[in-house]
Structures are given as structure tokens and as C-alpha cells.
Structure 1
Amino acid sequence: MSGPAATIADAERLIADRKPDVAIVDINLRGERANPLLDRLQEEGIPVIVITGYTEVSLQPGKVEAILQKPVSVEQFLAILRPIVARLPDR
């Protein structure tokens, strides 16, 4: 497990140190939109779940696995996460 990261720069350092299996990203990181981070994660082939307080987030299709609106229940989060984890190669 890596993180949490409060900024895009912090997240970039974490990715460089250890590639995560899955990234859970808030669309707003300390006032920065996380789009550049989402691009990097997609380039690295890292599945992403976006969690946001915004009522609407516009992202390119296929950019992320899911966009969940806060507050997110444990059941809702696990329903999205389980199939992603099931697709990961064994370590």
C-alpha cells in the first residue's frame, strides 16, 4: 500500500517508488485538478477509481474504472474494487 498523497507531486513520487496495483484518486488534490495524474496512471496501466464531491465529472471514456460521488459507502466501494482486484495478475 502506498499513500495517501495530498498533491499530484506527492502521488508522482509514490508511483515512482512503487507502482500501485490500483489508485484511488480524488479529482481535486489541494486545489489542483487530478487530470495530469489520471493521465500518468493510465499510461502506466494502473486502474483508477475516482472519488469526488463534485456532482459531475467529465473524463474521457476508459480513463478510469469508476467515478464515485462522496459520501461513498463501504459496500459501494468494494463492489467497484473487487472486480478490479480479481483482474490483477498474481504476485
Structure 2
Amino acid sequence: MGELQGKRVLLVEDELFIAMHAEEILRDLGAEVIGPANSLREAWSFVENETFDCAMLDRNLNGELSDELAQELKRRGVAVILATGYGSIASDRGLTVVSKPYDENMIAAAFRSVMKERSLGLE
């Protein structure tokens, strides 16, 4: 597909097999994957030391929510999607959410949506 061709994507996911699957999807979409980070602490380290265009964040990392990280990334102009296995989340913070289990089409559509919003200044 190539929706993320030339984009650097931060991947934050605490489950090894899910992270491997997500990394494969992101690479198939043309992304250069940064990470995966498996904790919020590691994710914040990437934020401080790397540059990227997009981020795919697991919402619940070993009991810690990634919502604050997502908001900071959005503030910095990074296109962000949250992934969750806990059903739908009220999107009161304006975050795009994909439900697990997800597939390549779902991830591609979510990133198309957030990148379109970002380019239109709808954040």
C-alpha cells in the first residue's frame, strides 16, 4: 500500500507478539519503525531522543495509560493513533482509536484519517 512511505513511526506496545505484528504492518505500509517501546518510560525516552512523524500507541501499558503521551505528541504535531483491546474508548480527547485485533487496512485507514486532520489543521 505505502500510506506511510517515508514516515518515521513510533511504536509503543507492551505485548511482544502484538508489537511484532504491528511492526510488520507498519513496515508493509512503508514506515520506518522507531521502537517498539514496551513501557511509557521507554516511550518518553524515544520522544526525547528521536524524531518521528506518526505514533501508534497501545493505550494500556502494564496498567499505565498512554493518553498523556498521546496528547503531548499531538501537541508536537505528530499524527497519533491509540490501539486498545478493551473495546471502544470515548474519544473526548480527540484521539483516533483502533480496536485490537486490528489488521493492515484498519491501521492504514486510521493513519490516513489522522494525517488528513493534521494537514487540515483540525486537531
Shorter-chain TM-score category?
Answer: 0.7 to 0.9
* AA in 1 matched with 2:110: I
Structure 1 counterpart of 2:75: 43
Structure 1 counterpart of 2:63: 31
Query: C-alpha separation between the residues in 2 aligned to 1:71 and 1:11?
Result: 22
Residue 78 of structure 1 deviates from its aligned partner by 1.5
TM-score normalised according to structure 1 size: 0.78
User: In the comparison of the two structures, how many residue pairs are matched?
Assistant: 84
In structure 1, stretches of 5+ residues that fail to align are none
Aligned identity (percent) is 29
Residue 19 of structure 1 deviates from its aligned partner by 2.1
Q: Which has the higher strand share?
A: 2
Alignment pair present for 1:76 and 2:106: yes
Going from structure 1 to structure 2, the CA distance change for 1:82 and 1:35 (only over 3 Å counts) comes to: closer
Alignment pair present for 1:9 and 2:7: no
In structure 2, stretches of 5+ residues that fail to align are 1-32
Deviating above 3 A after TM superposition, structure 1's stretches of 4 or more consecutive aligned residues are none
Query: C-alpha separation between the residues in 2 aligned to 1:48 and 1:2?
Result: 14
